[in-house]
A and B are shown apart, each in its own frame.
Chain A
Amino acid sequence: MAVQKLPIAKAINESLRKALETDPKVLVMGEDVGKLGGVFRVTDGLQKDFGEDRVIDTPLAESGIVGTAIGLALRGYRPVVEIQFDGFVFPAYDQIVTQLAKMHARALGKVKMPVVIRIPYGGGIGAVEHHSESPEALFAHVAGLKVVSPSSPSDAYWMMQQAIQSDDPVIFFEPKRRYWDKGEVDTDAIPGPLHAARTVREGSDLTLAAYGPMVKVCLEAAAAAQDEGKSLEVIDLRSMSPIDFDAVQASVERTGRLVVVHEAPVFYGSGAEIAARITERCFYHLEAPVLRVGGYHAPYPPARVEEEYLPGLDRVLDAVDRSLAY
């Protein structure tokens, strides 16, 4: 049963189950994660099998969830906390930024903060406001935090294992509109490093770099571009902090062109950081400026127009055309 075909939500569920089985210090906590199994059922069945003491339904207070998780980590536990939706994380932002991220450094390395914060993020599910945001840059900007996002069931399973094993706090962004996408998960595999990017499609004309929900869009764009005779390479960054710049650099040195794609607003987004660093590293290899495709500097719009806000295949291909036109 080493290889199973699972949706992303179930792959995370299996990963949490494995962690709860193998390490008695692992706890799962959050709003509705117990009896209900979470609003997306990611923690379905865990409380039944591991008890209320390890899979903990918490009061509805995000700062309290993260603040007590910090205390539990100080006591030697490894809490995996769920923030129910992206837009609900901000009551906990102070605890995450001010306390969680800095504790290891403040204690001169004497304490560790093995806390995983799971956040279902991103749009495309027709939700009401505060349920569709992509706040990853707000966390990647903070030293002391690691920020990752899987795009496939296999990565969802293995990156969760690695995030829980990490002695650093990890913000684990789950692409909620991909929760039900299925893929193979080999639970006996030997995973690569948590923060390494992966080339998910090889190409020679241009590099698309994306993570989380946008990897699928980029793969579709690359397939469509191939029909027009363009060869696009697609890199799944997997980690927004740190970013595997070496992998992007190696690709751009071959293709000479880079388009970064994310749902989050372009302004001050991770694409800006990638553009700046890749421009420094690959200045003489670049045939065109690094372009970015992402959300606009406007509140996430109502669901009926979110498809216009979110980068789709055409917006990606438009940027590809602009890059190739240089």
Chain B
Amino acid sequence: MTVESTAARKPRSSNSSSGAGTKRATAKKAPEKKTPAKKAAAKSAAAKSAAREAAPHDAPQHDPELVQLLTPEGKRVEHPEFGIDLTPDELRGLYRDMVLTRRFDAEATSLQRQGELGLWASLLGQEAAQIGSGRALRDDDYVFPTYREHGVAWCRGVPPENLLGMFRGVNNGGWDPNSNNFHLYTIVIGSQTLHATGYAMGVAKDGADSAVIAYFGDGASSQGDVAESFTFSAVYNAPVVFFCQNNQWAISEPTEKQTRVPLYQRARGYGFPGIRVDGNDVLACLAVTKYALERARSGEGPTLVEAFTYRMGAHTTSDDPTKYRRDEEREAWEAKDPIQRLRTYLESEKIADADFFAALDEEQEALGKRVREAVRSMPDPDPMSMFENVYADGSALVDEERAQFAAYQASFADSPVAGEGK
């Protein structure tokens, strides 16, 4: 490893006690706050209008429910309930994380096009949601990802090339989940939310103050397992954060094919809070996730965070989004790019200079090179390895079939063991 992730270089620096924590302001009240009755009415009207709307992929900043701390134009704004105070180092760190994650992702897409990977699921556009939430975590917290959480993996210090094994076809997971508290990628949609909930139930039984975060998407929100995980976590008050990246598209199906209410509102029916955050605003994602994690730690149970973002690329390298969505939609979201808005802010506030960006460009290239070389030199597994780890305690059936397969392989004339006698 020639390039260290920010996690490895300066562990937890962005969420240490430097005032980076989220504070739920109690003194100030938002001017738009209404009485509970009025607020409910307003939300209900909003829900109705969302349900009627044909294409609800509007600018998220017009939604009063959306937590935002950095506008698409790179302006720092305050939110009445969620605040954040980061050092210049931490701000540059978040920028670096997002840039390197995007570079890694682009490299993987290229490697797929070159035939080095069988498939790739790009996170393009979702960097802020993943880096913001990922940097909110403590080392002892535990992450249950989907198959697109490359940015969260980066924050956990998972070597990026480890993520590529399953996409290259050399393994079906391939890392030790406990070495970074980052569970294996889960392909079947939504299943991992139950694993996260069970893990969180175990954390509570242990009396630990760690938290668990489950990632999933707008498509997964329709899965029964996600509903069941909401039920279980609420009933047992499990210390889990449900982090839904609503990237507007589940392959070809827009969010309105999944829900008639904004997704974060689903939480209310289960008895825990739901918050919609600008998923392209890394500061807001960090602040809201830290708040949700703190709730979990302090025994207040689950929180649903809906990061309102956009899948700028295809679902995977096998997908063709031109079949189902308009270029204008993508262009509108590109104007809200998570990386550009932080760059604008860093430049206008003189937090980062040209030297910083130049050094980062070099680091990007080094990362791309490293990933390319790692993938190209990744060996195919030994065919005999398919019989490994089927069972922890072994199995007579596997032993028998392994022996049959070995004998079959050895029966070929060019086999290394052929001709050695039996």
Interface on A for B, CB 8 Å cutoff?
53, 58-59, 61, 63-64, 66-77, 91, 94-95, 98-99, 102-113, 143-144, 146, 166-168, 195, 241-246
Contact = CB atoms under 8 A, between A and B. Distances in A.
B340 to A, nearest CB: 37
Interface in B160-211: 171-179, 183-184, 186, 188, 191, 193-203, 205-206
B206 A108 contact: no
A67 B390 contact: no
B173 A74 contact: no
A220 B171 CA distance: 50
A109 B390 CA distance: 8
B392 A104 contact: yes
Contacts of A107: 173, 175-177, 184, 389
A24 B206 CA distance: 11
5 contacts: A59-B235, A61-B232, A63-B228, A75-B199, A111-B177
Given A104-B389, A144-B390, A243 B397 contact: yes
Interface of B: 171-179, 183-184, 186, 188, 191, 193-203, 205-206, 224-225, 228-229, 231-232, 235, 388-393, 395-398
Nearest to A53: B205
B232 A110 contact: no
A257 to B, nearest CB: 24
B194 A242 contact: no
A67 B177 contact: no
A99 B195 contact: yes
B226 to A, nearest CB: 10
Nearest to B392: A167
A71 to B, nearest CB: 2
A114 B203 CA distance: 17
Given A98-B191, A109-B388, A74 B199 contact: yes
Contacts of A195: 396
| Nearest 5 CB-CB pairings of A with B | A71-B198, A67-B194, A75-B202, A68-B198, A106-B173
Contacts of B397: 241-243
A168 B195 contact: no
B387 to A, nearest CB: 10
A167 B176 CA distance: 17
Contacts of B225: 63-64, 67, 94-95
Residue from A64, A98, A99, A113 whose CB has the most chain B CB atoms within 10 Å: A64
Contacts of A106: 171-174, 184
A282 to B, nearest CB: 15
B270 to A, nearest CB: 11
A167 B393 CA distance: 6
Contacts of B229: 64, 67-68
B389 A108 contact: yes
A112 B191 CA distance: 18
B188 A108 contact: no
A26 to B, nearest CB: 12
B202 A77 contact: yes
Nearest to A101: B390
A144 B391 contact: yes
A178 B231 CA distance: 35
A59 B202 CA distance: 17
A111 B178 contact: yes
Contact of A71 (B178, B202, B224): B202
Contact of A99 (B191, B197, B228): B191
A34 to B, nearest CB: 13
A314 B127 CA distance: 69
Contacts of B172: 102, 105-106
Contacts of B388: 105, 108-109
Contacts of A71: 194-202
Contact of B201 (A72, A112, A167): A72
A215 B166 CA distance: 45
Given A67-B198, A72-B198, 7 more contacts: A63-B228, A67-B194, A67-B225, A70-B194, A107-B184, A108-B389, A242-B397
Nearest to A66: B194
A58 B232 contact: yes
A99 B193 CA distance: 12
Nearest to A167: B392
Nearest to B212: A71
Contacts of A63: 194, 224-225, 228
A110 B393 CA distance: 13
Nearest to A114: B392
B191 A67 contact: yes
Given A74-B183, A74-B199, A75-B202, A110 B178 contact: yes
